[in-house]
């Protein structure tokens, strides 16, 4: 598989944008746990936000492969900053796939243009991987839903203009998979509050929050998809979004590898540069090979998705293996830096901290393995 000329140009443009916008500020953003949101606006102006959004709704009309390619490049330069770019449209997939025509026409152009940031509120303090355990309630009263509850670890929680809220709409349904729905919320609505979470290990430039709903009234027309189908919509949503998380893993790994190569070529020991030592060369070879394998997985998974041939097992393979690769490569790259990798002046320590999240969010590596096995056991060979 080879990228088209247009896709290669997209990669180059995304990398150049990230180098210009992130390189000199990433360390400070990480230390202060903040980000300059004007960069998100400029990213949108350059066409890097929600490229999978159709042209009819203000997007570029490209695919999830292009979205993932952009994600890899911006994470390659800095994961924390890159997360602000690739997550600015996190939820547009749900609206485009399940929303009404009116919802698509109203919300998607705002996301693609950078006018509004969107987030998706799923996880709760006592409901992580098992989304059937959510307790946030959206009770229908006339032509409104009244939402009460709280969500935890929500990306863009404090910055989002809109949030997709995964909530219980039919608590009495015997099938737990038919209890929930997805409702679109304007965060300016009275009763909504977001509290920033400080002290994260990694991607500290990315906003993560605990959000709460206290009798938040939302028009019934803000239901996305069908009532009681939230779980099934969420599973389809993850099949779209997990691929760009795989690209995150490849990006942070590629960035760490490049730092390691640069360091071992300059660092002198035992009568020459570290890069002359076979043990070091073996490490570089192993790191690079794992990265190429992970990249091939997410390329193929995205290609199939864009061509209407979704393979959930392949998506989960890409996400799991890319996360494992990110952690492995960041660890080896830091090791090659020796003591220098352990101090804040060297960026590799930040990449080391950033890599771990890829194994945790949007489906932990254990969940991904369960999905892979479940899909394979359904098949007849």
Prediction pTM value = 0.96
Q: Which residues pair with 120 in a beta bridge?
A: 164
pLDDT tens digits, the chain, 381 residues: what are they? 899 999 999 999 999 999 999 999 999 999 999 999 999 999 999 999 999 999 999 999 999 999 999 999 999 999 999 999 999 999 999 999 999 999 999 999 999 999 999 999 999 999 999 999 999 999 999 999 999 999 999 999 999 999 999 999 999 999 999 999 999 999 999 999 999 999 999 999 999 999 999 999 999 999 999 999 999 999 999 999 999 999 999 999 999 999 999 999 999 999 999 999 999 999 999 999 999 999 999 999 999 999 999 999 999 999 999 999 999 999 999 999 999 999 999 999 999 999 999 999 999 999 999 999 999 999 988
pLDDT recorded at residue 59: 97
- Indicate which residue of 33, 72, 332, 362 is catalytic: 362
pLDDT recorded at residue 381: 81
Asked if 50 and 71 touch (Cβ cutoff 8 Å), the reply is: no
- Residues 6+ away with beta carbon under 8 Å from 18: 73, 74, 76, 77, 78, 81, 82, 85
pLDDT recorded at residue 204: 98
CA distance 288 to 298: 16
Strands 162-168 and 208-219: unpaired
Asked if 187 and 110 touch (Cβ cutoff 8 Å), the reply is: no
pLDDT recorded at residue 333: 98
pLDDT recorded at residue 92: 98
Annotated active-site residue 362? The verdict is: yes
pLDDT recorded at residue 1: 84
- Name the residue among 309, 337, 335, 324 with its Cα closest to residue 366: 324
Domains of the chain and any CATH numbers: 5-113 (1.10.540.10), 118-228 (2.40.110.10), 231-378 (1.20.140.10)
**Alpha-carbon distances of 205 from 46, 139, 162, rounded to whole Å:** 21, 35, 20
Q: What is the DSSP string of 156-204?
A: TTTT-SEEEEEEES-TT-SSGGGSEEEEEEETTSTTEEEEEPP--SS-T
């Amino acid at each position: 598989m080879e990228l088209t000329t247009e896709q290669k140009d997209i990669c180059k443009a995304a990398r150049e944008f990230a180098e210009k916008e992130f390189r000199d500020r990433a360390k400070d953003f990480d230390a202060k746990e903040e980000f300059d949101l004007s960069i998100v606006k400029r990213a949108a102006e350059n066409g890097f936000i929600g490229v999978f959004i159709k042209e009819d709704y203000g997007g570029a009309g490209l695919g999830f492969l292009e979205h993932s390619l952009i994600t890899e490049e911006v994470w390659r330069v800095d994961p924390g900053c890159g997360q602000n770019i690739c997550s600015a449209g996190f939820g547009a997939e749900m609206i485009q796939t399940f929303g009404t025509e009116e919802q698509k026409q109203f919300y998607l152009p705002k996301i693609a243009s950078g006018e509004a940031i969107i987030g998706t509120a799923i996880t709760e303090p006592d409901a992580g991987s098992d989304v059937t355990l959510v307790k946030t309630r959206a009770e229908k009263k006339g032509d409104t839903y009244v939402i009460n509850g709280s969500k935890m670890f929500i990306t863009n929680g404090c910055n989002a203009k809109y949030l997709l809220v995964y909530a219980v709409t039919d608590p009495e349904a015997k099938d737990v998979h038919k209890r929930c729905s997805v409702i679109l919320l304007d965060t300016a609505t009275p009763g909504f509050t977001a509290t920033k979470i400080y002290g994260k290990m990694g991607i500290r430039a990315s906003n993560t929050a605990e959000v709460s709903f206290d009798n938040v009234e939302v028009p019934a027309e803000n239901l996305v998809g069908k009532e009681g189908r939230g779980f099934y919509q969420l599973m389809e949503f993850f099949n779209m979004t997990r691929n760009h998380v795989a690209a995150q893993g490849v990006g942070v790994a590629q960035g760490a590898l490049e730092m390691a190569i640069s360091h071992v070529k300059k660092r002198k020991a035992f009568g020459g540069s570290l890069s002359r030592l076979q043990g070091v060369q073996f490490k570089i070879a192993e790191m690079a090979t794992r990265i190429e394998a992970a990249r091939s997985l997410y390329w193929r998974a995205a290609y199939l998705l864009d061509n209407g041939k979704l393979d959930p097992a392949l998506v989960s393979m890409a996400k799991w293996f890319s996360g494992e690769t990110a952690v492995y490569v960041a660890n080896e790259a830091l090791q090659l830096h020796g003591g220098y990798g352990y101090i804040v002046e060297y960026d590799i320590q930040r990449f080391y901290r950033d890599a771990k999240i890829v194994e945790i969010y949007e489906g932990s590596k254990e969940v991904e393995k369960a999905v892979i096995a479940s899909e394979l056991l359904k098949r007849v060979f």
